Chains A and B, each alone.
Chain A
Amino acid sequence: MAYYPHTSEEIEEMLSSLGYESIEELFEDIPKEARFNDESLLNEGTSELEVSKLMKELSEKNKTVDDYICFMGGGAYDRYIPSTVDHVISRPEFYTAYTPYQPEVSQGTLQHIYEYQTMICRLTGMDVANASMYDGASALAEAVIMAMNVSRKNKIVVPKSLNPYWLRVVKTYLLGSDAEFVMVEEKNGEIDYCDLEDKIDDDVAAVLTQYPNSFGIVENLKEIKDKFTSKKTMFVVMADPIALGLLKKPGDLGADIVVGEGQQLGIPLSFGGPYLGYFAFRKKYVRKSPGRIIGKTEDKEGKRGFVMTYQTREQHIRREKATSNICTNQGLMTVAASVYMSTLGKQGLREVAEQSYKKAHYLFNELTRIDGIKKAYPDKPFFDEFVIEVNTDLNKLKYKMKKEGYLPGIILKHQYPEKDNQLLIAVTEKRTKEEMDSFVSKIKTILKG
């Protein structure tokens, strides 16, 4: 199968119009020593039908969240995606367009991003949002870089209750910089305020906080912000966008930059990507911010239109002095997110958040009634993800539960070696009481067994 349309006659005709006899002559400027000559290594193509079959077979070797009942989260969640989302993002007008460099013929993409920016600002309580980063973790990393540039300081304060995998991405992004990471201890599942007080001083560029944190607990942003000693220190909050459907906005609680993983906004799990890093901040920092930004303007006849703006921050203009090297972002995923947020709307997002909260608390209550299971962090507020401590070998439990058809959650020891027997469980609006009840009874049976 091929997608080059020329017939051999056309190829000949074109070549001869150029004064060539063979295709090889088009490559005579490549030195012999740099040529690839081992044709035998090049495999043959195949038909669409065969590729379809091959891919279907490969896909069927994978087990999905439809094969299991999924209680696994940790940053990626099994949520219902309304039908509208895929219908819109399947339109070639959106998915086969490039970055909107020619605004006159890109108003669809540009106006959409302006609307997306507006929705993200309303969700987070911030002034400006960009047109996306690669994912939540890279958005967090870019937020740290931005905070260092704004504050001209280099100390980054990170609570242990922030997802260690994402922190690892941040640290990789900062390799070669003068960033100094200072960890704050965790106490009963949330940031240890005394330790925070000890670690904060006037040299801190940013304090990072995950909201809710990596144990599902809702951190008290206001109290954290109150510990800041310097006005220059930036408060970077990484927020779960569905939780923001219920909880107070980080922007109202003192955040300067709010980022997050947008997968839950209508994007399939796809083994971790493509997802969506959303990125929002206060207006006064716009010139130090990374990524594309769309602004409203008018055409020469006074008609409303949208353009890429603040482009002088970006790599294609400012090169080595750019605020980031990002070029390609997650454009189409912002369409998915906008359609998701518009489909759910004001009431729908609240309802998804509410159902997730209620179902999670139902399951939490039922599970923690079982002998051998206890609350890992009692008396802390959580949203739709929580940690239980199970008096058993979690690997065995997980293995058995998978056999019964459940993805029972994430074993925290992988991320926190000091945490034994702790299981992180996520509950979305998709789960039913029936599913949860049988989940509980299966675990009960296994623990007894």
Chain B
Amino acid sequence: MAREGLMYTDSDEWVQKKDNNILRVGITDHAQSELGDIVYVDLPEIGEEYDKGDDVNEIESVKAVAEVKAPVSGKIVAINDQLEDDPALLNEEPFDNGWIFEIEMTDPDQLENLMDLEEYESKLEE
């Protein structure tokens, strides 16, 4: 269901630490399977800033809308525009080609609030 080496949020985003305080963000396999066939991703704009917990963008399936939240505070530095043409990537490869955006964090301490794999899996079991 989830993957080793990533960090997780309460709202089912995964977070991968890259260089220079940059984090890559996507939604978990669990999140995509709850949503069902994803048909549209409304991507954020590069350069926009968000506080931790803000709604960054929307993901739509046939009959549901989900918000992707900022796992930390920071500025969007990259988006996965492949999702515009092929939103199904979120269903098919949520941890790989289905990543959504990269954010440059302003406060690395916020990482401490994220869950590791074990914590996330036990949350899912609840």
Contacts and interface: CB of A to CB of B under 8 A. Distances in A.
Contact residues of A: prevailing secondary structure: helix
B59 to A, nearest CB: 10
Interface stretch (A122-130, A311-319, A375-383): A311-319
A321 B42 CA distance: 15
A312 B63 CA distance: 6
A318 B61 CA distance: 12
B124 interface: no
Nearest to B39: A312
Chain B, interface SS category? strand
A317 B64 CA distance: 6
Interface residues of B, number: 7
A107 to B, nearest CB: 18
Interface string B54-82: 00000011111100000000000000000
Contacts of A311: 62-63
Interface in B77-97: none
Nearest to A318: B65
A317 B32 CA distance: 18
Nearest to A287: B40
Contacts of B64: 312, 317
A312 B64 CA distance: 6
Contacts of A287: 40
A294 to B, nearest CB: 14
Interface string A304-347: 00000001100001100100000000000000000000000000
Contacts of A318: 65
Contacts of B40: 287, 312
A318 B40 CA distance: 14
Interface string A18-62: 000000000000000000000000000000000000000000000
15 contacts: A287-B40, A311-B62, A311-B63, A312-B40, A312-B60, A312-B61, A312-B62, A312-B63, A312-B64, A312-B65, A317-B63, A317-B64, A317-B65, A318-B65, A321-B65
